[in-house]
Amino acid sequence: MDDLKTGGIAVIDFGSQYTQLIARRIRELGVYAEVYAHDSGAAHINRRQPAGYVLSGGPSSVYEAGAPQLPAFLLEVGRPVLGICYGMQLLTATLGGEVVAAPEREYGPASISHQPLSPLFDGLAPELQVWMSHGDRIESLPPGFRMLAQSDNSPLAAIGQLERHRYGLQFHPEVQHSPSGRAILSNFLFQICRCQPTWSAAAFIEEAVTGIRKQVGGERVLLALSGGVDSAVAGALIHRAIGDRLTCIFVDHGMLRLGEAEQVARVFRQEQGMRLIAVNAVESFLTALTGVTEPEAKRKLIGRLFVEAFNEEARKLRGIRFLAQGTIYPDVIESAADSAAAKTIKSHHNVGGLPADLEFELLEPLRDLFKDEARKVGEALGLPASIVWRQPFPGPGLAIRCLGELSWERLEKLRAADAIFTGELADAGLLLEGTAQSFAVLLPVKSVGVMGDKRSYEEVLILRSVTTDDFMTADWARLPYDLLARVSARIVNEVPGINRVAYDITSKPPSTIEWE
Ligand code: XMP
């Protein structure tokens, strides 16, 4: 509903990788937040009458030629503004202060002490841990501004022009490593902008249902149902909006986990009452993937084969105009679909693999949500916990966990090992809670072992288990040694063709969660 969005926050994007995270943190506090490109114009940015603005960080320096500028209307409307990092520097430079390159980049944790001057730090301890990431700093404040917080390296870690409700933070309150960031944002929302906490999963659903009905009109929709959280939530949401005009297509491409195809049919067809077509495309996928080992090539090929499978079904069904997908925000950024400047890390199956001549119009109702937001929406839609809280599974499935050449035999090996690992984790209560994503990866590497009295020369299996809230950064899970020992012994004993098991102890970054 529009009134739930009215009076929220407009987050103005200057190119930071954290911009959507800022919006999500604000929504977590119950206030609607939407991201706008910095140059998208006053009328667009103000269309929901925001109660305040947050200016994101960004990779530019305000003193560079061509650096993004502060939209002029922001200083005229008289509503509160919070600039973060580049946002603060921009506010400073625009209002007559000076920003210079810092002698040293400041990156990582810092301790700040704040002045009891402004509501921004209300209720917080005098010393706070925050997370910095910047190369420029403020040399002189604009007229009317005061220092609100400082750190050893940043004499102006927070600034404000209190009477006009303009604030700046050199650090990033939106990231997990700023533990008080949530409280600071909350103070900005509720004390400074006087927002009301009316935003929730229920509100999102209402809004999304209206939006889907409007976009789809009387047409029909096909959904790429993978059985994972995102497409399940998208399916339930679209089903709520248009009922039987949604047809779900589930492609069994042979790269699913053990028992997964059967489970998807049971849950969506029988329990949810959705129209579901199950396509068995195992052979055609495997044939096409023969000899393909390069990760991006695998991803792109699978994306293309998926679209072909949908096209084929759609032609049989006739008259389907929309293709729905459970794309969530992290998929969008990592495919760099949103910004030509950002580097592609991996082309996600549900975004980057789509050819330009796609015959469908895309419907992606979860595109602005992070994973945990999508889960809350799924819960509010009444999906079972076994689906909503299941761990995410990538679109290309085991293809990107079976490194090197794919074959049915290697996929079966991986499936069996993966089921042992995840089964043991589930028994230990570490699958739905405790780890965010846990799976096995089969390497195209053989190592020597000794089994019985015989030398073996077989493949290596990696166990990967991570903890994370947002899947953009992740840490490896500190699993109990005895659990790892049990899993390793079972896999080597029960799965022929694997004689060595290793545990992946890298975080993201520098690694990614998946291996390809
Ligand atoms: P990475 O490996 O980039 O993964 O750290 C982040 C999250 O995204 C999932 N992932 C995918 N999900 N299609 C998807 O739907 C894909 O192509 C894809 N690739 C990675 C990954 O499992 C993790 O949760």
Cα distances (angstroms) measured from residue 429 to each of 262, 376, 424:
24, 21, 9
Report whether residue 392 contacts ligand 1, using a CB cutoff of 6 Å: yes
Strands 437-451 and 320-324: unpaired
Which residues pair with residue 37 across a beta bridge?
13
> pLDDT tier at 346 (50, 70, 90 boundaries)?
low
Kindly tell me if the per-residue pLDDT of 76 is higher than 80.
yes
The alpha carbon of 97 and the centre of ligand 1 are apart by a number of angstroms equal to: 43
- Segment 286-310, tens digit of pLDDT: 999 999 999 999 999 998 998 888 7
Burial of residue 277 (CB within 10 Å: 0-12, 13-18, 19+) is middle
Give me the pLDDT at residue 92, please.
Answer: 97
Does 108 or 242 have the greater pLDDT score?
Answer: 242
Structure tokens, 27? 């929504």
One of 174, 364, 459, 516 is an active-site residue; which one? 174
Pick from 73-87, 185-199, 266-280, 400-414: least confident: 266-280
Which atom from ligand 1 is nearest to the alpha carbon of 437?
24
Give me the pLDDT at residue 6, please.
Answer: 73
**Which amino acid residue places its CA nearest to atom 24 of ligand 1?**
392
Among 315, 287, 313, CA closest to 302: 287
Asked if 33 contacts 22 with a C-beta cutoff of 8 angstroms, the reply is yes
Q: Is 253 a catalytic residue?
A: no
- Segment 367-384, tens digit of pLDDT: 988 888 899 899 999 888
CA 141 to chain centre: 36
**Which amino acid residue places its CA nearest to atom 3 of ligand 1?**
512
Asked if 185 contacts 26 with a C-beta cutoff of 8 angstroms, the reply is yes
Give me the pLDDT at residue 20, please.
Answer: 86
Give me the pLDDT at residue 504, please.
Answer: 98
**Which amino acid residue places its CA nearest to atom 14 of ligand 1?**
394
Give me the pLDDT at residue 417, please.
Answer: 98
Report whether residue 513 contacts ligand 1, using a CB cutoff of 6 Å: yes
Does 303 or 88 have the greater pLDDT score?
Answer: 88
- The angle at the Cα of 161, spanning 155 to 165, to the nearest 5 degrees, equals 130
DSSP H or E stretch at residue 111: strand 98-114
> pLDDT tier at 107 (50, 70, 90 boundaries)?
confident
Which atom from ligand 1 is nearest to the alpha carbon of 508?
5
Place of tokens 């625009």: 94
- Segment 152-165, tens digit of pLDDT: 888 999 999 999 99
- The angle at the Cα of 484, spanning 481 to 487, to the nearest 5 degrees, equals 150
Report whether residue 83 contacts ligand 1, using a CB cutoff of 6 Å: no
Among 240, 216, 231, CA closest to 362: 216
Phi/psi of residue 357, each to 5°? -90, 25
290 contacts: CB under 8 Å, gap ≥ 6: 405, 406
Does 346 or 190 have the greater pLDDT score?
Answer: 190
Please name the residue ranges forming H helices in 290-405: 295-317, 329-334, 371-380, 385-388
**Which amino acid residue places its CA nearest to atom 7 of ligand 1?**
471
Among 357, 361, 381, 377, CA closest to 369: 377
Q: Is 402 a catalytic residue?
A: no
Report whether residue 326 contacts ligand 1, using a CB cutoff of 6 Å: no
Taking each continuous run of H as one helix and of E as one strand, the counts in the chain are: 15, 18
CA-CA distance, 290 to 277, in Å (whole number)?
Answer: 26
**Which amino acid residue places its CA nearest to atom 10 of ligand 1?**
394
Instruction: Note the pTM of the prediction, 2 decimals.
Output: 0.67
CA-CA distance, 69 to 39, in Å (whole number)?
Answer: 8
Report whether residue 396 contacts ligand 1, using a CB cutoff of 6 Å: yes
Q: Is 85 a catalytic residue?
A: yes
- Render 254-269 in DSSP notation, one character per residue: S-PPTTHHHHHIIIII
Give me the pLDDT at residue 405, please.
Answer: 95
Kindly tell me if the per-residue pLDDT of 330 is higher than 80.
no
Report whether residue 437 contacts ligand 1, using a CB cutoff of 6 Å: yes
